Structure 1
């Protein structure tokens, strides 16, 4: 088995939240990391290069550029594009298929992909089949997972995170635009339990799979560290920052009037009616230390943008 410093990892989506976390963790653990980017000159890419990553320019619509990026690569980390785009077109699925096919053609042995928790039971969601839930979001995720599973890789792993803790810091303007004013406004009830995972924990799982492909081979792993309500989240952020956080539960109509994206509103309603329901105890067998939201909040105290 190759040691970490003998393995070359290709990270797709390295300038995003998940890909960036995986790149940083893989470099920290001594892997050789190549990142597939559209532009080498952005500040995010230059920062990764400074940390030791090799950047290769590629385009999802240009298979030769993907294959060039995969030369001599031992393993690929793949993360889908933003789910909101998939309600308008087939870009997420098309690009994911291109990466999978290029990896197989290039002889890549290991493929680690991130999807989302609950994909295996989407047909059991209430109102499924009526189009209520932007069904393409879920079917695209599942179709890509199936493509990974059936592609023929020597080792594949699919990691399925629940809600990302970094939504309260890195993606706060999109997810919780009123947090700056000390408010969390959501259609999700204040006491609804939601499963959370930090992207840093996700990155540790990805690197554990890179280090031990046999152990993680053909594993579909739903990821969450704990279940918390928005009431719990508000209390933790308040305690850590010293700023009072108020949770407001909106009706669907009120949320629409606030200008919330329909996709976000349905996601919040989905939390009430369905939820990720990750079996957190199952993750103990992997011996990966998971970060609680309290630990996350303390470590990212200065990242909370609250006036």
Structure 2
């Protein structure tokens, strides 16, 4: 029996959809906070377990009869580490045989600018020390985020980011979900760290070039200084407390934190993952009509 946490989120949905293509629904359970959002999954025969990372009693109930757990990282960055510890403790108490965690491919922990990402490394350490069998999946930045970074306005007027010539080995979220599902069904639990990336690292100049080819319009990327980016965010109404997080994230890209490529995503998919061109064609499909 497989339990997927965060199953109504974007990555969680991709994982569950891929699982349903491989194994009977009665072998799948999901942890959700809002049961109403899981109605379709219930109708498909998936076991719905209501709870949250903060509610230890609900986690203990959710783990009953479970063999493998996929812990999808929580979105509350301030509370994330303790929430993950709650999940790990509940899994161990319930006798779960293997727990997998979705971490990040950030290359150098000691030079990260966005320190909120440190929580991923702390969770990795907690899991490794737990005594549970584990798999850690360090996922690269989803190619899907380029829709946010570029947007419809960027397709017409160009986009400006403080990312310099930093490169990212983007991969589609849907393919990440499929790869995780493949591992959950048949992958070995060998206390291993996987690095899931696309097969090529691309700069934002590459993104602009591919979008130009796909749209027939001249799409431009302009590297900017931090101050201009901060002003952009303020103009969009982004709360000032969040601006350092966004800036730190962009700076880590500029500094090459996500430019490493591996073949491990391709191995789990048993095919080459989508290229930048293939992925952008799907992601910007409505804008290309």
Per the normalisation by structure 1, the TM-score is 0.80
Bigger mean CA deviation after superposition, 47-56 or 30-39:
47-56
The within-5 A match list for 1:1-307 is 8-31=1-24, 32-42=27-37, 45-82=38-75, 85-86=76-77, 89=78, 91-118=79-106, 121-123=108-110, 125=111, 133-135=113-115, 137-153=116-132, 155-169=133-147, 172=148, 175-176=149-150, 178-179=153-154, 181-189=156-164, 191-214=165-188, 216-225=189-198, 226-259=200-233, 261-281=243-263, 288-289=270-271, 290-302=273-285
Q: Distance in 1 between matches of 2:58 and 2:268?
A: 35
Inter-CA distance 105–224: structure 2 relative to 1 (3 Å threshold)? same
Aligned-residue CA RMSD (Å): 2.5
Q: CA deviation at 1:17?
A: 1.9
Inter-CA distance 220–182: structure 2 relative to 1 (3 Å threshold)? farther
Inter-CA distance 287–27: structure 2 relative to 1 (3 Å threshold)? closer
Q: In structure 1, what is the equivalent of residue 237 of structure 2?
A: none
Q: Distance in 2 between matches of 1:243 and 1:56?
A: 48
Three-state SS of the structure 1 residue aligned to 2:14 is helix
Q: CA deviation at 1:207?
A: 2.1
Q: Distance in 1 between matches of 2:45 and 2:204?
A: 38
Q: In structure 2, what is the equivalent of residue 3 of structure 1?
A: none
Deviations 1:46-89 (Å, cap 9, x if unpaired)?
3433444332211222212111111111211111123xx42xx3
User: Could you tell me whether the CA contact under 8 Å between 1:182 and 1:243 is conserved in 2?
Assistant: no
Q: CA deviation at 1:187?
A: 0.5
Inter-CA distance 38–282: structure 2 relative to 1 (3 Å threshold)? closer
User: Could you tell me whether the CA contact under 8 Å between 2:168 and 2:201 is conserved in 1?
Assistant: yes
Q: CA deviation at 1:151?
A: 1.4
Bigger mean CA deviation after superposition, 294-303 or 9-18:
294-303
Inter-CA distance 29–243: structure 2 relative to 1 (3 Å threshold)? farther
Three-state SS of the structure 2 residue aligned to 1:197 is coil
Three-state SS of the structure 1 residue aligned to 2:170 is strand
User: Could you tell me whether the CA contact under 8 Å between 1:111 and 1:157 is conserved in 2?
Assistant: yes
User: Could you tell me whether the CA contact under 8 Å between 1:116 and 1:161 is conserved in 2?
Assistant: yes
Q: CA deviation at 1:300?
A: 3.5
Q: CA deviation at 1:278?
A: 2.0
User: Could you tell me whether the CA contact under 8 Å between 2:156 and 2:217 is conserved in 1?
Assistant: no
User: Could you tell me whether the CA contact under 8 Å between 2:144 and 2:283 is conserved in 1?
Assistant: no
Q: In structure 1, what is the equivalent of residue 239 of structure 2?
A: none
Q: Distance in 2 between matches of 1:180 and 1:46?
A: 37
